[in-house]
């Protein structure tokens, strides 16, 4: 891609979304229609078939709930369609409509033409959710070459001005629909993620629905009517719940007041009920405690205690709830930082990543390393049941929170007499049995010499890089027969027909967009898709340079404490990467990265 193509950062949130870019060396939010910095992640389709996104769509949520969709982020990665008006859409198509609104704002500021985007996702999004997010961005007209984790992005927004000290940072990200926590370390210009944990189905939306159930319970008790069975009444209660929650973040009491919620037996039913902050906190306490359990998990996996954390960053609108600060203070015995905007930090951090990638921020100013959010491995036979061996045990090859890029391998044996094919099924997750984890793909290694069960050995190697690309190799040791497959969080994993169908559907909507006289340009499907489910794509040279710099920084860091043979290996790695970076040969650079990754695995254990 040409270096002249603008690169922006995008926070595609459950409740609000925003785009940002680097201007005069600093990340800035790009104003959307009407001048708002962030827009509600709400989509409405009016009766003429026009799509409206943002504040006007949010205003229609109560009046026309059957024509409006909110909180679609919670359904990303699902193939279940969502009804919008008289049409149905996949979750990534709804998200594409939100991103198109941001794309228009970006074009308005930076001019028309091709734009690249760095889009953020919760750290605990799985492979399917990340792929759906990337597809949404491509459908909206962006070229999406990087997906980064939201807590990492928030830490980048903070770290841009705080890289001079060695510090441990905990990012507590409680948004509208998801919760993430990440532990990071700043050291010598490196922002290194040590561990992440979270729940992609826990957030402010859950607090709202607890309040909705409380209000609905009052109406049932007083009038014997269930407002949750009435679509408009339910939408009214949801809107009032959000207002009450916000009031309780600054006041000790709030009143839920709705003159008319619904009609029951031809009579209007209203609601007037008071709730205290203490009552609300008791209501949401179990959910908040669940987030603290994740905080403790992340600390444990990072090998740190609470007292080792120098800075606590709060991200996401739900962190404005006073009880959140109180609970975190009890753990860390320090106030959370207030110099990070909870609603804008993720978008600003994504802009920092975009600035590094686009050359607007020096690559030497900040190098970011991340971790694998989930364990990755294969399905194997479990022989612990004796003669009743069970298929489908999950054998982890790359554990969660492994620093990436990473390379790991394990050796397995055949399970059947004289079998000539080894089936490799790849999964992602933490459960012992693969049926409870996410299936990423499968392939077969043919040509295994027929032999009694257990005699033939198969080495399975996983290589996982900064762009979320997982390369799996299976090799039979006795005859060196091997097969390699690349599975990646890329649009190419979606079928051509499905993407084309989505693109065509959305183009028809954009032709009807308010204020547009010309139809949107045809999406270049062929530039985004390949025919095969598993493809090996040419690596982007700029992305490889970034990966090489990360490896170089890590090698330099390890060298300071290494002795003997380990130190010599690290010096070799440093010389190898420096030489490759000085040249401009992509093949040499790719080879150096592969060799350096293997050497680093040997010394960093």
Token duo for residue 566? 């380990």
Euclidean distance between CA atoms 429 and 158, whole angstroms: 30
Do residues 159 and 191 touch, judged by C-beta distance below 8 A?
yes
Where does residue 486 rank: exposed (0-12), middle (13-18), buried (19+ CB within 10 A)?
middle
Which member of 150, 208, 370, 456 is catalytic?
150
Structure tokens at 315: 């991200």
390: exposed, middle or buried (Cβ count in 10 Å: 0-12, 13-18, 19+): exposed
How far is residue 585's CA from residue 529's CA, in Å, rounded to a whole number?
Answer: 26
394 forms bridges with which residues in the sheet? Answer: 379
List strand residue ranges (DSSP E) for 327-437, in order: 367-371, 376-382, 390-398, 403-404, 406-413, 421-428
Rounded Cα–Cα distance for residues 286 and 449 (Å)? 56
- Please name the residue that has the structure tokens 């940002």: 20
> Is the separation of the CB atoms in 22 and 160 below 8 Å?
no
Q: Which one, of 399, 428, 393, 430, lies nearest residue 412 by Cα?
A: 393
Quick check: 405 and 463 in contact, CB under 8 A?
Answer: yes
Q: Is 73 a catalytic residue?
A: yes
Distance, in Å, from the CA atom of 34 to the CA atom of 275, rounded to the nearest integer, reads 35
**Crossing angle of helices 277-302/204-223, nearest 10°?**
150
Paired strand residues for 58: none
DSSP state of 308: G
CB-CB contact of 325 with 336 (8 Å)? yes
- Phi, psi (degrees; rounded to nearest 5) at 416: -120, 150
Contact criterion met (CB below 8 Å) for 68 and 43: yes
**Residue matched to tokens 């009491």:** 253
Active-site residues, by number, are 11, 73, 150, 173
């Amino acid at each position: 891609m040409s270096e002249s193509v603008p690169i922006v950062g995008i926070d595609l949130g459950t409740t609000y979304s925003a785009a940002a870019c680097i201007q005069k060396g600093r990340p800035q939010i790009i104003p959307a229609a009407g001048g708002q910095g962030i827009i509600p992640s709400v989509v409405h389709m009016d009766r003429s078939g026009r799509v409206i996104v943002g504040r006007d769509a949010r205003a229609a949520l109560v009046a026309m709930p059957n024509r409006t969709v909110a909180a679609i982020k919670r359904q990303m990665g699902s193939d279940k369609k969502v009804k919008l008006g008289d049409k149905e859409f996949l979750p990534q198509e709804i998200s594409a409509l939100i991103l198109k609104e941001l794309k228009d704002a970006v074009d308005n500021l930076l001019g028309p033409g091709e734009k690249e985007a760095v889009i953020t996702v919760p750290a605990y999004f799985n492979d399917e959710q990340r792929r759906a997010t990337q597809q949404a961005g491509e459908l909206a007209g962006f070229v999406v070459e990087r997906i980064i984790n939201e807590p990492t992005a928030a830490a980048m927004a903070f770290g841009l001005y705080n890289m001079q000290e060695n510090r441990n940072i905990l990012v507590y990200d409680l948004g509208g629909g998801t919760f993430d926590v990440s532990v990071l370390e700043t050291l010598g210009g490196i922002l290194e993620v040590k561990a992440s944990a979270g729940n992609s189905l826990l957030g402010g939306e859950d607090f709202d629905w607890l309040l909705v159930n409380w209000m609905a319970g009052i109406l049932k008790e007083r009038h014997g009517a269930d407002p949750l069975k009435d679509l408009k009444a339910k939408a009214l209660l949801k809107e009032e719940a959000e207002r009450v929650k916000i009031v309780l973040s600054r006041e000790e009491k709030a009143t839920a007041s709705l003159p008319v919620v619904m009609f029951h037996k031809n009579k209007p039913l209203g609601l007037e009920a008071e709730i205290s902050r203490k009552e609300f906190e008791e209501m949401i306490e179990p959910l908040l405690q669940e987030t603290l359990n994740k905080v403790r998990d992340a600390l444990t996996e990072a090998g740190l205690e609470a007292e080792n954390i120098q800075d606590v960053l709060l991200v996401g609108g739900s962190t404005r709830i006073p009880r959140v600060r109180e609970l975190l203070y009890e753990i860390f015995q320090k106030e959370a930082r207030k110099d990070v905007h909870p609603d804008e930090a993720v978008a600003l951090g994504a802009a920092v990543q975009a600035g590094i990638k686009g050359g607007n921020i020096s690559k030497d100013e900040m190098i970011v390393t991340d971790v694998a959010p989930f364990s990755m491995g294969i399905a194997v036979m479990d022989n612990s049941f004796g003669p009743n061996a069970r298929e489908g045990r999950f054998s982890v090859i790359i554990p969660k929170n492994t620093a990436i890029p990473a390379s790991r391998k394990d050796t397995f044996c055949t399970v059947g007499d004289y079998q000539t094919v080894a089936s490799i099924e790849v999964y992602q997750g933490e459960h012992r049995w693969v049926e409870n984890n996410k299936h990423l793909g499968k392939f077969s290694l043919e040509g295994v010499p027929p032999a009694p069960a257990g005699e033939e050995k198969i080495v399975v190697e996983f290589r996982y890089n900064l762009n979320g690309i997982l390369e799996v190799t299976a090799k039979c040791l006795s005859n060196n027969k091997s097969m390699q497959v690349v599975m990646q969080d890329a649009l190419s994993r979606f079928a051509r027909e499905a993407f084309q169908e989505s693109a065509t559907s959305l183009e028809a909507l954009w032709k009807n967009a308010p204020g547009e006289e010309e139809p949107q340009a045809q999406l270049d499907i062929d530039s985004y898709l390949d025919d095969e489910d598993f493809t090996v794509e040419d690596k982007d040279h700029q992305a490889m340079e970034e990966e090489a710099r990360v490896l170089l920084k890590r090698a330099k860091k390890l060298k300071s404490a290494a002795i003997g043979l380990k130190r010599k290996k690290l010096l070799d790695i440093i010389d190898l990467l420096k030489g490759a970076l000085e040249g401009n040969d992509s093949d040499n650079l790719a080879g150096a990265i592969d060799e350096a990754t293997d050497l680093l695995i040997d010394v960093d254990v």
